[in-house]
Amino acid sequence: MKRYLTLLHNFLVISLKRELEYRTNTILSVLFSFVWVVTTYIITTVVFGQAGKIAGWSIHDAILLILVYYVISTFLRTFIAPSIIDFSQNIRLGKLDLLLTKPVDVQFMTSCQKLNMIRSIRGFFMFVVLMLYATQYYPISLFTACLAFVFGILGILGMYAAYYLLATASFWFENIWNLEELFMSMYEAGKHPFDIYQGPLRAVALYILPVAGIGAIPTLIIRHAISPFTLALFACSTLFLFFLSRIFLRYALRQYTSASS
């Protein structure tokens, strides 16, 4: 465990150094992220200003959901998306070869070796805003905050596993282009209250591809509006997805053909 934390620290440092090589990119990236947050906030207040409540969610609930969604989304885009996109492309181009010879868990290497550190700075800033907002409008105990945090992590794990499963399919379907766009548009579903999903779609979006729950579940925990049964089912489904991703990778590696030299 200590070794992997040391490695993660190395990946963090090396990624930050890499990003700092390109100053303009860094400045623009931070700027765009604030524009995105402000735009989303304005749209939400306009929509809720007209409708009052949507599926039982008030404007404060919706803003809380957006903040949770944004923090988790930033985490995914910082720690997971860059490496997984590379993973998919490296399979197609045969660049996975040298990485597979390293004495480190393949899933760890292919999930964490490239990080987008600038996004993590925005994520941290949004996390502080979230904390201030949540404590101002919702009376939460330390236990509730911890539970929301744990389920936020579980949501990330489930989302990561679904993303990784999709990327691993590149071993067979080599041309999975625009993987990030595909995944992130699916992930956009997490920005809305999940009560809008009904019937089988709700079950799929909550437990199979846990996009609907990723932002909503921690939000509902903060609002004290979720049953222990739903939480337990959500936790089981995310853990199952994670183990499935590991088994699937092991199977896929046996089919790896590399690319011609």
Partner 1 sequence: MIKWAFRSIMNELVISVQHLTKHYKVYKKQPGLGGSLKALFSRTYETIKAVDDVSFDIAQGELIGFIGPNGAGKTTTLKVLSGLLYPTSGSVSVLGFNPWDRKAAFQKQFSLVMGQKNQLWWDLPAIESFLLNKAIYEIPEKQFQETLDKLVDLLDVRDVLNVQVRKLSLGQRMKCELIAALLHNPKVLFLDEPTIGLDVMMQKVMRDFIKSYNKEFGATIILTSHYMEDVKELCKRVVIIDHGKKLFDGELQGIIDKHARNRILSIVLSEDVPRKKLEAIGEIKSYEHPQATILVPRKEASERAAKLLQTLPVADITIEEPPIEAIIRDVFQTTK
> Strand pairing partners for 57?
54
| CA torsion through residues 85, 87, 93, 99, sign | positive
Nearest-approach distance from CB 181 to partner 1, in angstroms: 23
DSSP state of 54: B
Q: Distance between CA 114 and CA 145 in Å, rounded?
A: 30
User: Would you count residue 173 as binding partner 1 (CB under 8 A)?
Assistant: no
User: Would you count residue 23 as binding partner 1 (CB under 8 A)?
Assistant: no
Judged on CB neighbours under 10 Å (0-12, 13-18, 19+), 220 is buried
Radius of gyration of the chain (CA): 19
Segment 83 to 102, residues that bind partner 1, using CB under 8 A: 94-95, 97-102
User: Would you count residue 24 as binding partner 1 (CB under 8 A)?
Assistant: no
User: Would you count residue 135 as binding partner 1 (CB under 8 A)?
Assistant: no
User: Would you count residue 6 as binding partner 1 (CB under 8 A)?
Assistant: yes
* 78 versus 90: smaller Cβ distance to partner 1: 90
Q: Distance between CA 81 and CA 66 in Å, rounded?
A: 20
Nearest-approach distance from CB 162 to partner 1, in angstroms: 25
User: Would you count residue 103 as binding partner 1 (CB under 8 A)?
Assistant: yes
User: Would you count residue 172 as binding partner 1 (CB under 8 A)?
Assistant: no
User: Would you count residue 200 as binding partner 1 (CB under 8 A)?
Assistant: no
User: Would you count residue 251 as binding partner 1 (CB under 8 A)?
Assistant: no
Task: Give the closest residue to 84 by CA, choosing from 5, 170, 4, 147.
Answer: 170
Q: How many residues does the chain have?
A: 261
For partner 1, the binding residues (CB under 8 A) are 3, 6-7, 10-11, 14, 17-18, 21-22, 94-95, 97-104, 106, 253-258, 260-261
